[in-house]
Amino acid sequence: MRFMGWQETFEKIASELMKEPTHDFEHAKRVCSISIHLAREENADEDVVKAAALLHDVGRSLGEKEHEQKSLEIAESLLGMTDFPKEKKQKVLECIRQHRFSGGEEAISLEAKILQDADRLDAIGAVGIARCFLWSGEHKKVLKEAVRHFSEKLLKLKDVMNTESGRKMAEDRHRFMLEFLEELESERGATPQTSSTEPFYH
């Protein structure tokens, strides 16, 4: 029987478990790619961010509520049964525990900050727009409810990046979302729901 290293094992398990439209294996791969880029820019541990990125959402298939805990349980099991360096295991679990925007936990280690940034970066820009409308359709939201999500969450993410490299990437993706929203507002003929004359999403 062919031996599978830890990365191949994590990829295989994540691809089997992550089936939600907006949190599928493609999401994990994108977060992993962004995490590796940020780790190289910030001189962080690539093994830690790579493992954490691949496993950070594996528990969502078991229910969205408290999925971090379910992801942690699966990750801890996988980290213990593969050739992943034992001395780095706790750092991976810490990253997963602290990654979620609405979780309220502050990212402490550089690697946790990078995973948090990478996960947030995948929620903005062109991919973020696509995921927003994909999620809205999945949950039977109408267009104005989908658009509201930008001002409630997505347009705030640029200002909560942890790393300098993450902030640079976020600036470009944020700018693209504003351009998209301006065009969308123009095509909808929408009246901004605000007392000012500025577009509602600024």
Residues 75, 144 within the same domain: no
Q: Can you give the pLDDT of all 202 residues of the chain as single tens digits?
A: 567 899 999 999 999 999 999 999 999 999 999 999 999 999 999 999 999 999 999 998 776 566 778 899 999 999 999 999 999 999 999 999 988 755 567 899 999 999 999 999 999 999 999 999 999 998 999 999 999 999 999 999 999 999 999 999 999 999 999 999 999 999 988 555 544 445 555 4
State how many domains the chain has: 2
Question: In terms of Cα–Cα distance, which of 103, 137, 134, 133 is closest to 120?
Answer: 103
The CATH number assigned to the domain holding 43 equals: 1.10.3210.10
Q: Quote the DSSP letter at residue 18.
A: -
Residues 34, 79 within the same domain: yes
Question: In terms of Cα–Cα distance, which of 107, 102, 90 is closest to 38?
Answer: 107
Residue 118 included in any domain: no
Angstrom distance (rounded) from CA 48 to CA 113: 12
φ and ψ at 127, to 5 degrees?
-65, -40
The amino acid present at 63, given as its one-letter code, is G
Q: Give pTM, 2 decimals.
A: 0.89
Residues 19, 84 within the same domain: yes
- The length of the chain in residues reads 202
Residues 23, 64 within the same domain: yes
Domain that holds residue 183: 123-202
